[in-house]
Amino acid sequence: MSATTRLLTQLQKTALDAIFPPGCISCAEPIDTPGNLCANCWPEMTYISAPFCDKCGFPFEFDAGDGFVCATCLKQPPVFARARAVFKYDDASRDMILGYKHSDQTNRAPTFANWMSRAGADLINDCDIICPVPLHHKRLIKRRFNQSALLVREIAALVDKPAIPDLLTRKRPTRSQGGLSAKARLRNVRGVFEVTAARKAQLHGARVLLIDDVLTTGATVNACSKCLLEGGAIKVDVLTLSRVVRASNTAI
Ligand SMILES: [Zn+2]
Ligand SMILES: [Zn+2]
């Protein structure tokens, strides 16, 4: 290999490392294709695929037919129309997501967006604009980025749909939803979101795809969806990287 070829190869590698993490995006073991999971981590993830609840995307063991809705959604229909996720939030996926969110592993965003664009292809197809669940500006300063807004940017670039990262804002800071009961989560986000005044015209009559990293009880995305629908959206779908799947599915 000549010195020039070596330099070019190194430059290419550096450029790829800047876009994608050099190792497995979960365990950091060296792998051949950057921005991927290694052969050990890939089968550990529980990918969510049909059959699932037509509304909240809760996976079913058996196919009950198109349009089938889970007991929880029947009892209390969510505000959003449909929610879909790439994989289950569990021991296998937790560290990978928390590392992205809290340890500046933002170079995982293109890979996550790639997976999300496939898992949410139907929702993406039906949407006019894509927006994230917003962070309060105080938390944004602390964390330096909104993990959901990064996903929005990457997904929008992949699928060529308009992204509006500041469509929603948080009126006041809220405590983290982590560790709160379903009821406390609802209370915590009630009346917290508002449509950014300068974006109201763009929202009017639009079908919105709302992006977040994890769907837990649905309290946050429901509160955002309510705000978007009251602000003039005609439909809100939700796409997340992962979702909590409890046997009873009583949370959403
Ligand atoms: Zn791995
Ligand atoms: Zn459901």
pLDDT computed for residue 13 by the predictor: 53
| Residues linked to residue 210 through DSSP beta bridges, in sequence order | 131, 238
Q: How far is the CA of 27 from the centre of ligand 1 (A)?
A: 4
Task: Report the range of poorest mean pLDDT among 38-42, 72-76, 182-186, 247-251.
Answer: 247-251
Report which residue type is found at 212.
Answer: D
Nearest ligand by distance to the CA of 42: 1
**CATH architecture assignment, domain 45-243:** 3-Layer(aba) Sandwich (3.40)
pLDDT digits (tens, 9 = 90+) for 69-94: 999 999 999 999 999 999 999 999 99
Q: How far is the CA of 35 from the centre of ligand 2 (A)?
A: 32
pLDDT computed for residue 250 by the predictor: 46
- Residue 173: how many other CB atoms lie within 10 Å: 11
Query: Collapsing DSSP states into helix, strand and coil, what is residue 129?
Result: strand
Summarize the confidence of residues 162-167 as an average pLDDT: 96
Spatial neighbors of 160 by CB under 8 A, at least 6 apart, are none
pLDDT computed for residue 87 by the predictor: 96
Q: Are 126 and 237 in contact (CB under 8 A)?
A: yes
Residue 106 has pLDDT above 50, yes or no: yes
Q: How far is the CA of 100 from the centre of ligand 1 (A)?
A: 15
Mean pLDDT of all residues belonging to the chain: 89
pLDDT computed for residue 220 by the predictor: 94
d(CA 112, CA 214): 12
| Residues linked to residue 84 through DSSP beta bridges, in sequence order | 239
CA distances 75 to 71, 95, 155, 216, Å, are 6, 33, 32, 18
Nearest ligand by distance to the CA of 30: 1
pLDDT band at 59 (very low <50, low <70, confident <90, very high): very high
Q: Domain locations in the chain?
A: 45-243
pLDDT computed for residue 14 by the predictor: 54
Residue 251 has pLDDT above 50, yes or no: no
Q: List alpha helices for 21-120, DSSP H.
A: 71-75, 91-102, 109-119
Nearest ligand by distance to the CA of 38: 1
Residue 173 has pLDDT above 90, yes or no: no
